A and B are shown apart, each in its own frame.
Chain A
């Protein structure tokens, strides 16, 4: 029965749950409205739909891969378990004091986000380690026992343990874990030395607390999901997508649910990486734009860039610092409040501003005609001719251009002395410039030159804006793959089994200890491999070793990847050379005569990437059939042009069109600016290149 694998991918998003199935029958996909009360229901329904479409029964599914925003939402909406923190005496308020700074300098009425746990949920215990792990004050078991009894009696469901310097020595945290297991076996426990063994107490404690906070809920959800799927016949192994772009077992996910945060967007990045591999492209900028946000990610050599820390639940206009830091391996993405529903207004400087406030799906942009009277990006797109009012969302939502125009006029045109078309131009330019700026800054931070990159665009609103974004970023080539609407769920099916283990351990190159390095790397290797082995007992395992290095005295480390050979025989000279090469690439010049040090070590164990069938080259091109022309505003020249209308369904491999043109499909529209021409590739991806 299970000779040919049949795999199901399920992505629970804020609005829709996307389900994709692949097997000998090809690919089927569907979108079901997310069912918040019992999220598993949408997956079950989606599964039955795609199984019916594929002509199979659920029991023939061999593997299910799942990603979800439930963990992220629980953190944003503060709907977690009753959780306590046990920390070192004297440090009860680390998560409340944050960085002691204001993320917005000029707002006298700034409100800092509440910490995840109120102050009376944060307990302390007498104990202390020195920075090198030496015990300064011993932990007293009797004191811990009394504390655990108090926590148990207060009805806590979950406990986070975060002690200072536990990333070098976990013995005190283990004592607390032992006592909890003994006296309060029903309470779930998360240790900072296991969840995120990295220096910097604010990040580590917050990550550990976030894990503890969502653990009971996620554990119960994942248990129910497994039962429901089995009950409906799908009794196969279930895996979870994690934020780092790989998959882990359901059991590991239940223990470390904080690793599931951002798993949906991670699936999108894997999707883009797979398209990149199919087309043999080494430098890709993925661009995912939906209703409320846009996400941008750099993908080099078909591998998304990763980071060790990111921020969730930003409370103040997506402003850096207004959320909470989570230090786990994560695909490094920039997320900004720019989507089809983002609302535009005029500020004190008579400048047009767009987002992050969003019209959402209710009432939606003004053009939906559901009572929204403020102009959104979608309204501007409609007025500029990018959307066909009769064929939006496959004709299910009729659009009203007049409502868009009056909203644009009322909120922008009148105060600025512009007509609706110019106001719409302004909105589209501002939102595109916001996204372009985010992409530029992200590229600079990573020492990359975007003009060498290819963009891959997916998500409902991306193909409308991607062409203009390429013009702004000087990117010559753009790909819009098929299946863009369910990109993340497809990405789940392309992700390898993987787990990244990190450790903070300082070492200066002048005091380099090759033996110690070998043992740190071995430890990390064993840990990461063990996780992968719970998913797959036999597959070959590849390891990516990185160390994070800097000049002694700097505060910002840069990742330096090592080859297997370099990791097996570590030596200081090679590391120095690798570091200087990376540093010069980022910051133009190295600094002579300074000591160099390593702060964090990392090993990512992963199964080989999914097999890729390269897209065949396309032979002769021919013009695609056209269906009339429409007015389309060209922001590059500031003029209205006559764009030919085409249908994506008409594009066989090699069919092409010269910009200005529009390509309509059920879920979105691809805009081909005057500066570009479009062509269908062998895998039905639409390619836009500079004329």
Chain B
């Protein structure tokens, strides 16, 4: 075929996006870690021979966006392109050359068509254990956080590196699961490769140069058009959050310039002693995600559409941690990057971005074991159960926040029935938390209640990874703050928002996850919306009267009508 037409290039671009979606789907179906298969914590992409990302699957993890875009270049440099051969598969979990912590495994496969090297497939997944201290913030340095696999060959021209496999197996708690996941990652690249070759055959392509140029040129032009349509300017945003032992300040300056937007994190807190530090690549991913959502949501991610979003941060600030800082829970801080960027962007582009939300996912891991305070029944067993949960998102200029819905992360929760089948844990409660959405013209999304205990005969440790205990989401344009995180035992014993804590036999941990903040003055809220919130119990009678100026008589009337089955 001669030079393909514009229409044919468009068809090929659509095809490449479909190819990476298939690649990601194959990973979900074959993975072993709950984080990948249930929650969708993964990403997949296709690259040209220069290592430029051409297409990426839209998955649950914006944090992988730029990290993935940059990763392949590191592989090319470390492995050496001239040594790459058909049948090779490369691996790493380097936090700085991969996606931000040792718990993400990245696999890269070079793609060959008719004997010629034509590009790469790469994919990343969050695995449940990599050895070390386990998934938590307790390490003092990355050396304690688990096995560190530098960029290297996993499969050399079809032959798996058995030495590497044995070293991995010997260093992790769930070796079968991890090796299974590594194979799943390799398989998903294979599937992408197969589809790519079919496409190249169909269109008679010998290389990806033409289509790469088409994708990158169009994406660059469209992104720059969006940026240059904005008024240029500069603004600061700041947010203080709990951190581990001491509060963390995130501070950013957003500069909208000709052809680029820069986020500069000067003034942000330094490294934390605990593993909540963030490699720059992960900060960049979430900053870029926030900006793309606001100004160019419909432009697919690739090297050219990401390039105009620049970042700089002081070395060894908490958002630019370098080796050997501990980084296992980098998501806890990283998930607050978008709200910080929006604090600045709201001043430059009013009425566009939401109020602050719950921010980081409300995840916890429980380690169950037979009770030790008294003889345990014979059926009692050890088990590790990880859950992903969400608080409320911030209210938008024209819409309420979303109840118990993740933002900026996009991962899914696990069904309670599936969790209880995975280990002897009992989730006694998982439902919306009234009054936790910040009041406002638009109300913040509600957080949720979650109560967790164990089956008879068990005690457990809970590894908490919560923020917003002392720093709830702040409202915008006069909107009220969202409800803060709370956590305690059912006998009233207080607990901490972060860290591993013991729960004796028979006790239940009672948690309330944070709500999103409100937008605009509560007094301006549509009265029908207030009645609807009260009828559904999203707000209580007290809040309706206190925050939304409803009279007691009206409130009682609404409650009585709701009880009679009226629709509001």
A-to-B contact residues, CB < 8 Å? 82, 84, 89-94, 96-97, 99-102, 105-112, 118-121, 128, 130-131, 136, 150, 153-156, 164-165, 167, 199-202, 347-352, 416, 418, 422, 425-426, 429-430, 433-434, 437, 440-441, 444-445, 472, 474, 506, 551, 553-556, 586-589, 591, 593-594, 638
Contacts and interface: CB of A to CB of B under 8 A. Distances in A.
Contacts of A105: 58, 60, 62, 410
A441 B568 contact: no
Contact of B421 (A422, A506, A554): A506
B10 A351 contact: yes
B565 A82 contact: yes
Given A555-B38, A594-B176, A101 B195 contact: no
A100 B26 contact: no
B421 A102 contact: no
Given A120-B535, A150-B563, A112 B402 contact: yes
A109 B396 contact: yes
A548 B300 CA distance: 36
B11 A100 contact: no
Contact of A554 (B15, B31, B62): B31
A285 B28 CA distance: 25
B219 A349 contact: yes
A321 to B, nearest CB: 9
User: Nearest 5 pairs between A and B by C-beta?
Assistant: A154-B565, A555-B37, A119-B536, A90-B429, A106-B297
Contacts of A472: 202
B206 interface: no
A426 B538 CA distance: 48
B432 A555 contact: no
B564 interface: yes
Contacts of B406: 100-102
B234 interface: no
B367 interface: no
Given A121-B565, A150-B563, A426-B7, A100 B412 contact: yes
Interface of B: 5-8, 10-11, 13-15, 18, 21-22, 25-26, 28-32, 34, 37-38, 40, 58, 60, 62, 176-177, 180, 183, 187, 190-191, 195, 202, 218-219, 222, 225-226, 292-294, 296-300, 352-354, 388-390, 396, 398-399, 402-407, 410-413, 415-418, 420-421, 426, 428-432, 448-449, 451, 455, 535-538, 562-568
Contact of A101 (B202, B294, B405, B449): B405
A106 B293 contact: yes
A349 B218 contact: yes
B353 A108 contact: yes
A418 B418 CA distance: 54
Contacts of B410: 101-102, 105
Given A108-B354, A591-B180, A102 B218 contact: no
Secondary structure class of chain A's binding surface, majority of residues: loop
Contacts of A121: 565
Nearest to A102: B410
Contacts of B415: 199-202
A301 B417 CA distance: 36
Contacts of A437: 14-15, 18
A130 B453 CA distance: 12
A97 B404 contact: yes
B190 A130 contact: no
A556 B29 contact: yes
Contacts of B5: 638
B396 A444 contact: no
A112 B31 contact: no
A588 B14 contact: no
7 contacts: A94-B431, A101-B60, A130-B420, A348-B298, A554-B30, A589-B183, A593-B176
Contacts of B448: 93, 97
A154 B535 CA distance: 14
A230 B260 CA distance: 73
A90 B195 CA distance: 46
Contact of B562 (A89, A120, A422): A120
A100 B404 contact: yes
Contacts of B431: 90-94, 97
Given A119-B536, A445-B25, A588-B190, A91 B18 contact: no
B222 A348 contact: yes
B399 A109 contact: yes
Contact of A120 (B13, B455, B563): B563
Given A101-B411, A594-B176, A200 B417 contact: yes
Contacts of A150: 563
A553 B179 CA distance: 12
A349 B222 contact: yes
Contacts of B191: 444
A418 B399 CA distance: 39
A111 B399 contact: yes
B366 to A, nearest CB: 15
A96 B403 contact: yes
B26 to A, nearest CB: 7
Contact of B187 (A165, A418, A588): A588
Contacts of A156: 565
Contacts of B225: 348
Contacts of B399: 109, 111
A472 B6 CA distance: 17
Contacts of B420: 130-131, 165
B482 to A, nearest CB: 16
